[in-house]
Amino acid sequence: MIDSLLLVFMIIAILGVGSQWIAWKFQLPAIVVMSIAGLLAGPFLGLINPEQQFGDLYRPLISIAVAIILFEGSLNLNFKELRGLGKPVFRIVTWGAFIAWILGSSTAHFVAGLSWPVSLVIGGIFIVTGPTVILPLLRQSKLKPTPARILKWEGIVVDPFGALLAVFAFEFILFLMSDGRDITSLLMFLLASLFAVVLGYLFGKTVGWMFESGYIPEFLKSPAVFGAVIACFTIADEVKHETGLLAVTAMGITLANIGISSIRDMRHFKENISILLVSTVFILLTSSLTMDTLKDVFRLEIIGYVLLMLFVVRPLSIFLSTIGSGLSIQEKTLVGWIAPRGIVALTVASYFASVLEDEGFPGASVVLPLTFALVFSTVCVHGFSIGWLAEKLDLSSKGNPGAIIVGSNRLSVAIAKVMEELKIPVLVVDSSWDRLYTARRAGVNHTHEEILSEQTEYMIDFTPYDYLISATEYDSYNALVCSTFIPEFGRKNVYRLPRQNHSGDQLDDLDHTIGGAELFRPAEGVETLKFKLESGYVLRKTTITDQYNFDDYLVDRDRETVLLFVLKQSKQIAFFREDAEINVSPGDTVVSLTPPSKEFFKIKEKLVEKREEQTGEKPKDNN
């Protein structure tokens, strides 16, 4: 085992971030990769054992991690967005969660052999799915809107409340099992809980006010939130253990609902600090497991518990809670199967395992292997089966990777129209109802939203779309949109139209890493491209063949032709850019903006070919 704590910290950070990168690169569930990395470094190779090496520091680290993760989840709970979620979502996050708690607790007691106090606490924790695990699965599987919406909002709403349910269950059990059943202790807990809620509310209001009033500079906002969350958790927890979780949840909900303009910055806090924390903490937990704990995972009672949670508890809670909700059998089946537990379940369960052991409850030692078995099983089984099951139930919207086009004008609508003809999912977004007239008249998929509004992420389902193109007449706005959505889509999948020299924005010195890549070859501004459309240019789809390769196409094309994109045989889209070369193969379809003279020539050529009754080696054009 490594003696240097500095080396231990280094290994944990590298394994955590490296696991996240591998999961992203190969489209794997991140928790699976992190679990394997932690187990290899810990119980299998014996390089690290953070619980022993950190000593008294280990438990506070886990407590802070739980606080940050719960704050992250509660920061998504904007009550305005919860209105109108629909009957299925409401029932699942209320009655469904309650049924899952009762059934899960009963299963833990009668099958896993845990005592009732431990079972009720662990049952509360396991009602969570959590956005950290469910959202990546939804993006990967591309479900249809209804099941995707249900799973997404169940994760967001239930995520912070599983731990709170466990806290209240734990305290009420302590009261009921005390010899004298002193009502004073229960009242003290309720008063401490009220204090924690008020404290979280005050912290949230204070942080929001300081942000809006400019008392905290931009570069200090993330560190300030981080410090405030730790302070809020610590103060409440010092007053009464376990109420710190309630305080940070109240703080997050307050910040999410007071309508401050910096809420998006605080969500970037989640992406920056919280992702790093989640990665390292998961390595901490898995590498601290012992071989005896791992052997416990394969005990018959734990295996039976996991199987019942997978095949009975979850489906039954969904089917019972959604009776009369209007969901189809296929939708109930999919939602009833998908419930991956993730980092929230593991960290909160680890936190309560030590608390339950300290209180001397029988069966507390089984909590950690039971949790690890359920988390690892659900992430693997659900992560690798969601796409297959969705396709079998006809609930998958998989097809060509889609594109969101920001800005409704003649050019963007023409591109959207040709994408729809190629079976590419496309959505035109504009904040102006008047500008959307062009999209409405063309019959392309469109929505009336401001893409930069924080509400947009709730109003638009981004799941079917892999690319974003900002195609408005304003260069600076295009750059801002692209920079905003780089974290969502990835730097390589965010594009904007070329800058216009006469637009007045003067963005020639714009750093190449800001604002997305410039589209199309040759690069021309939106006004120039729109003028070409008005002059009779047409969008042409040309299929490349073995007889007529891409080099032949480049030789034959008109000099004024603007190359737009290529739809590959793999259904991926490759956009033409000045600074990038595209490998175009037989079977790929090239889309270009072609002068009208070329169109007339093509018509004449087709007439000649038809007259001569030739099969021809020329490309097949579908306009």
* Count of domains observed in the chain: 2
With contact defined as beta carbons under 8 Å apart, do 47 and 41 qualify?
A: yes
Closest alpha carbon to 194 in 236, 233, 235: 236
Alpha-carbon gap, residue 372 to 357, rounded angstroms: 17
CATH number at residue 234: 1.20.1530.10
Query: What is the average pLDDT across 284-310?
Result: 88
pLDDT in tens, 381-428: 888 888 889 888 988 876 678 899 999 988 899 999 999 998 888 999
Same domain, residue pair 441 and 315: no
Same domain, residue pair 369 and 438: no
What's the mean pLDDT when you consider all of the chain?
A: 82
Same domain, residue pair 531 and 475: yes
Same domain, residue pair 83 and 101: yes
Could you tell me the CA-to-CA distances from 283 to 40, 48, 226, 294 in Å, in that order? Answer: 10, 10, 21, 15
CATH number at residue 532: 3.40.50.720
- DSSP letters along 475-506, please? HHHHHHHHHHHHHHH-GGGEEEPPPPTTSS--
Same domain, residue pair 420 and 301: no
Domain boundary among 392, 421, 456: 392
Q: Is the pLDDT of residue 458 over 70?
A: no
Domain boundary among 392, 410, 442: 392
pLDDT in tens, 484-501: 888 778 788 898 887 765
Same domain, residue pair 384 and 509: no
| Cβ partners under 8 Å of residue 613, min gap 6 | none
Alpha-carbon gap, residue 383 to 375, rounded angstroms: 11
pLDDT in tens, 161-190: 777 788 788 777 777 776 555 677 778 888
Same domain, residue pair 428 and 326: no
Which of the four pLDDT bands, split at 50, 70 and 90, describes residue 554? Answer: confident
Same domain, residue pair 23 and 96: yes
With contact defined as beta carbons under 8 Å apart, do 478 and 515 qualify?
A: yes
b/e burial code for range 414-431 (CB count within 10 A of at least 16 → b): bbbbbbeebebbbbbbbb
pLDDT in tens, 39-97: 899 989 989 988 888 888 888 887 887 788 778 777 777 766 666 557 888 888 889 98
Provide the domain limits for residue 330.
5-41+62-392
Same domain, residue pair 574 and 473: yes
Query: Residue 599: exposed, middle, or buried by beta-carbon count in 10 A (0-12, 13-18, 19+)?
Result: middle
Same domain, residue pair 75 and 219: yes
Same domain, residue pair 133 and 214: yes
Copy the structure tokens of residue 163. 């731990």
Alpha-carbon gap, residue 67 to 234, rounded angstroms: 9
Closest alpha carbon to 32 in 114, 106, 140: 140
pLDDT in tens, 234-279: 999 898 877 888 899 899 889 888 877 666 556 555 556 667 777 8
